[in-house]
Amino acid sequence: MTAHSGTFAANRRTFLAAAAAAAIAPTSAALLGANTAAAASGGLPNYAPIPAEAFGPALNANGYFVGRIDNNLYWVTDSFYQAMFLTTRTGVVLVDAPPTIGHNLLRAIEAVTRDNGRPSKITHLVYSHSHADHIGASSLLGPDVVRIGHRETRRLLLRDNDPNRPAPSVTFDEKYVLEVGGEQLQLAYHGPNHSPDNIFIYAPEQQTLMVVDVVFPGWVPFKGLAVSQDIPGWVRAQNVAMGYAWQTLVGGHLGRLGTRADGELQQHYVADLDASARTTLANLDPTPFFQKYGPTGNAWAIFKAYLDAASQQTADPVVAKYTGRLAAADVFTFDSAYVLLESLRIDAGVLGPFGDHP
């Protein structure tokens, strides 16, 4: 481990302790705000306090929380990432292996199976998608676990050739029902969204849906609508998720589980962002940007200045509306406005001032 990553690990533990304290005592969220103000003396921006309801349960001394969702289905979090597992009569089925949770996945599974008397051996590992931040601890499980994922996940992992992420040996195209030791998960592919291979993992008995990097309970989506590779597909994936009969959602990120109200709130947030982006494309006057950069022939500066201004105009009313309702609305809405504007331009053909037919 380098000195740099050691420092990061120490800082992350400090942050986790602060987040856990805020989760226990909502009033300490104000203290987090004060800490942010202190950091601003180093030139970093201030952000609105995180609403108490955005935090999940407190972490234990090892830096994780494990909880039962319903009967044999459990979830694990380190407050940044989440995994889910089923304890069955014949072994454990794990969904995702985020490297930030790492060995704590094994500790969590040991603790749960010690209590419920089921075998602790992980026999199956389901990949939600190929991204290293969600499955980069796969190699900890050794060569014998049966890895299951979408056919595209296998293709991407063979391409990436990362020893931490062995490609799945069992793949599917549309649907796959995984039955292990009296328990069931229903895997389904509904097209590209956050990534080309992102799947939906439904536990029917527990009315629980795991879909990663699509719905962010209590928080706005990660930067750029979750750095999604297919924005219309990602927007639609929210609706696909809501079409399942779940009561509990495992979103793969942050510190708590999701409710249907969380899913609906995010749909409203994205719909508001979309409406604001369309209004901006229709009425933001590009004249000043052409006047400033046109004479120098700097076409990219015109685009950058216009898109920066458009992102700001798109984000402003949405940030105002959702601050206090969705955590970090003031952190990532600007970047998400940008990718939504770009998607409207290049996917939907809503080209704004750059779409006139001469």
Residues that bind Zn ion (CB under 5 A): 131, 213
3-state SS track over 256-268: CCECHHHHHHHHH
Please report how close the Cβ of residue 150 comes to Zn ion at its closest, in angstroms. Answer: 13
CB-based contact 213:195 (threshold 8 Å): yes
Q: How large is the C-alpha radius of gyration of the chain?
A: 22
For residues 51 and 251, which CB has a smaller minimum distance to Zn ion in the complex? Answer: 251
Q: Could you tell me if 233 and 199 are in contact, meaning their C-beta atoms sit under 8 angstroms apart?
A: no
Q: Enter the tokens of residue 262.
A: 């969380």
Q: Which is closer to Zn ion, CB of 131 or CB of 165?
A: 131
Mapping DSSP onto H, E and C, the string for 262-323 reads HHHHHHHHHHHHHHHHHHHHHHCCCHHHHHHHHHHCCHHHHHHHHHHHHHHHHHHHHHHHHC
Residues 121, 92: Cα–Cα separation, whole Å: 6
Q: How far apart are CA 213 and CA 193, in angstroms?
A: 9
Least spacing, CB of residue 133 vs Zn ion, in Å: 6
The neighbour count for residue 88, using CB atoms within 10 Å, is 19
Q: How far is the CB of 213 from Zn ion (least distance, A)?
A: 4
| Closer to Zn ion by Cβ: residue 193 or 280 | 193
CA 293 – CA 301 distance, rounded (Å): 6
Question: CB 194 → Zn ion: shortest distance, Å?
Answer: 6
Nearest C-alpha neighbor of 252 from the set 139, 115, 152, 126: 126
Question: 234 or 306, CB closer to Zn ion?
Answer: 234
Q: Minimal CA–CA distance to 189: which of 153, 225, 231?
A: 153
Nearer to Zn ion, 213 or 262 (CB): 213
Distance CA 330, CA 132 (A): 27
Beta bridge partners of 146: 124
Structure-block tokens of residue 83: 């995994």
Q: Which is nearer to Zn ion, 197 or 262 (CB)?
A: 197
Indicate the residue among 96 and 213 with the shorter CB distance to Zn ion: 213
DSSP conformation class of 55: -
- For the CB of residue 289, give the shortest distance to Zn ion in the complex, in Å: 34
Q: Smallest gap, in angstroms, from Cβ of residue 212 to Zn ion?
A: 6
Nearer to Zn ion, 197 or 274 (CB): 197
Closest distance to Zn ion from the beta carbon of 219 (Å): 15
Residue with tokens 């206090």: 324
Nearest residue to Zn ion by CB is 131
Question: How near is the Cβ of 328 to Zn ion at its closest, in Å?
Answer: 18
CB of 201 to Zn ion, least distance (A): 14
Query: Between residues 131 and 345, which has the closer beta carbon with respect to Zn ion?
Result: 131
